[in-house]
Amino acid sequence: MTTKKNRFAEILKQYHYKLHSGDIVAGTVIHNEKIGFLVDIGTEKVGYLPKEELIINLKNTTYSNLMLINTTRDFFLITENTNTKQYTLSIKRLDYIRAWKRIKQMYLEDIIFNLKIHYVNKGGIITYLEGIQGFIPKSHICIMRNKLISTSIKQSNIKCKILAINENKNQLILSNKSAQLKLSSHKFKIGEILYGQVIIIKSYGLFINIYGIKALLHISEIGETHRDNNLILIKDQFIKVKIIHLNNKHGQVSVSIRHIKNITNHHLQY
């Protein structure tokens, strides 16, 4: 039975094709060296696969478990080494190209992922999708996940959606807020009036917890009537708000208390 690499060699010979950087070639691993592998790609010049070109984000992995002698698969041709007369090959770069193709398709399909948290810092969460490092900014983490950052709990999972991608810069930005808004049992509607709990107080406004979603009550939406009455809202207080803006892609919800009477079911504190 003709192997994949032999068919590839026959095509090269038949059409006098010269390999170029960026080509995807079929080859078989024939020898394991100290820092790489020799690969038969059906040409007079043998291919060489450096061990650092094996997989994306290689961490604490035994090389011998990654490549077996006589394994046949596709490789990405990086360049031709004129000194050693070998083609330098890569699996990592081929996987990288294919990973980004899958990520772009998943972005279009608006898929929700349940990804492992690898690292937590002041700015947000580091995770991986298809072997590509992704970042969830703190501003895109829901209420419960902010507690996770403060306690530095790692190796748990977090639901998220793709917020933005840039293959050229190798940037993958994710949003937990967007995923939670889509998964929320309560389907928010513009103009809806409901109760929420004050969780964060800033100079520009307040953040309200509504069904586990963090909504912004901007200071401009408090209204002159409430300000004239010296209304002061405190943390953990429940207030009545009106939904005035929804952005499902970014997981953003904005609310208002303007023109709402009896906004709180607790005694107001000054």
Q: What is the mean pLDDT of residues 190-196?
A: 93
- pLDDT tens figures, 99-118: 999 999 999 999 999 999 99
With 70 as the cut, is the pLDDT of residue 40 above it? Answer: yes
Rounded CA separation 124/130 (Å)? 20
Does the pLDDT of residue 178 top 90, yes or no?
A: yes
Do 122 and 201 belong to one domain?
Answer: no
Contact 196, 208 (CB under 8 A): yes
Rounded CA separation 222/206 (Å) = 10
CATH of the domain at 65: 2.40.50.140
Domain span including residue 26: 4-92
The mean pLDDT value for 29-50 works out to 90
Q: Which of 141, 159, 182 is a domain's end point?
A: 182
Among 182, 201, 229, the domain-final residue is 182
pTM over 0.85: no
> Phi, psi at residue 142, to the nearest 5°?
-70, 175
Percent of the chain beyond pLDDT 90? Answer: 51
Whether residues 15 and 73 share a domain: the answer is yes
For the segment 49-96, what is each residue's pLDDT rounded down to a tens digit?
Answer: 999 998 876 554 554 555 678 889 999 999 987 777 789 999 999 999
Mean pLDDT, the chain, integer:
83
3-state secondary structure of 110: coil
What pLDDT is attached to residue 129? Answer: 95
pLDDT at 269 over 50: no
3-19: average pLDDT: 58
Question: Is residue 173 located within the same domain as residue 201?
Answer: no
In the chain, how many domains are there?
3
- Given 38, 63, 92, the domain boundary residue is 92
Per the CB < 8 A criterion, the answer to whether 136 and 124 are in contact is yes
Contact yes or no for 225/216 (Cβ under 8 A)? no
**Per-residue confidence (pLDDT) for residue 233, from 0 to 100:** 79
Whether residue 120 is contained in a domain is answered as: yes
Mean pLDDT value of segment 244-251: 91
Q: Would you give the end-to-end CA distance of the chain in angstroms?
A: 85
Whether 63 and 20 map to the same domain: the answer is: yes
Cα(75)–Cα(73) distance, rounded to whole angstroms? 7
